[in-house]
Amino acid sequence: FFLSSEGADEMWVAAVFLTCLTGAQSMYFNLNEGRRRCFLEEVATDTLVVGKYNSLDWYQIDPSNAANIDVNSSPTIIQAFAVDPSGRELMRHECGETGKFAFTSQMGGEHLICFITTTSYFQGVARKFRFDVSFEVGEAAHDYTEIAKTEHLSAIEVEIRKLNDKIRNIRGEQDYQKVREAYFRDTAESNNSRVMWWTILQVVVIFAAGGWQYFKLRRFFKSKKLA
């Protein structure tokens, strides 16, 4: 895990290399009011990501609790949102005490999933909210029990659906890794080309400097009648 507290935002970047083959990833964190906590999920294109959360301090912002009402400020809302590698927002969800959110990736790469509050303090004090959150990616994100009930599938049909989804996820991951491999190969070739041309430039400069020094010294020695 990597924790950054720089500036007004706090970012907790976790599970950097999750793919569509990864199961559930569960963790606990604190969300400081007025700041944000972010998680980084690396997924392939067209991959389902489901987040499940449990707010352990919901009583602090429960709108049914009169103690949480301040006529001088708006009510506190905790939101979850997801942003893809291009900066496009894929999902924004208003969190309750418990719940879940989901989005499907439109492109492969690192997706940012953040939790943030709509207020910076309550009655002059910045509060801290504890959260349990888990992420399910790819095939693990599908609720096959609910799918079976909705589509009236038999046990064997559910297993076939699971296998099809797993195969689809494996193919998607392979395609994504091919794109990443091509990108890193192009980057490596570009760097090698730059190093080669830089080396050639250094050699040219060294020979040019050496030639200039040779003719300069030769003229000097001739002028002094030493050569």
Q: How many helices (H) and strands (E) does the chain have?
A: 2, 10
pLDDT for residue 108: 86
Sign of CA dihedral 180, 87, 32, 57: negative
pLDDT for residue 226: 59
- Distance (Å, rounded) from C-alpha 195 to C-alpha 4? 33
Measured torsion, CA atoms of residues 44, 46, 52, 55, in degrees rounded to the nearest 10: 80
Q: Which amino acid is at 185?
A: R
Find, among 70, 93, 95, 68, the residue nearest to 82 by Cα: 93
Please, which residues have CB within 8 angstroms of residue 117's CB and are 6 or more apart in sequence? 31, 33, 34, 35, 76, 77, 78, 79, 129
- Distance (Å, rounded) from C-alpha 200 to C-alpha 129? 59
pLDDT for residue 59: 79
Q: Which amino acid is at 12?
A: W
- Distance (Å, rounded) from C-alpha 43 to C-alpha 85? 10
Q: Which amino acid is at 147?
A: I
Q: Which residue has the tokens 């972010």?
A: 38
Tokens of 217: 């010294």
- Distance (Å, rounded) from C-alpha 36 to C-alpha 114? 7
Cα distances from 165 to residues 75, 97, 118, 122, in angstroms, run 42, 31, 38, 46
Tokens of 57: 């301090």
Per-residue pLDDT of the chain (227 residues; tens, 9 = 90+): 333 434 444 444 444 334 334 455 578 888 888 888 898 888 888 888 899 999 888 877 776 766 666 655 677 889 999 999 999 999 999 998 899 999 998 888 889 999 998 887 777 778 888 888 988 887 776 777 777 787 777 888 878 877 887 887 788 778 778 887 888 888 888 889 899 999 999 999 999 998 888 888 888 777 776 55
Q: Which residue has the tokens 């400020």?
A: 73
pLDDT for residue 68: 61
How many CA atoms does the CB half-sphere of 52 hold within 13 Å? 10
Q: Which amino acid is at 23?
A: G
pLDDT for residue 103: 92
Tokens of 49: 């990501």
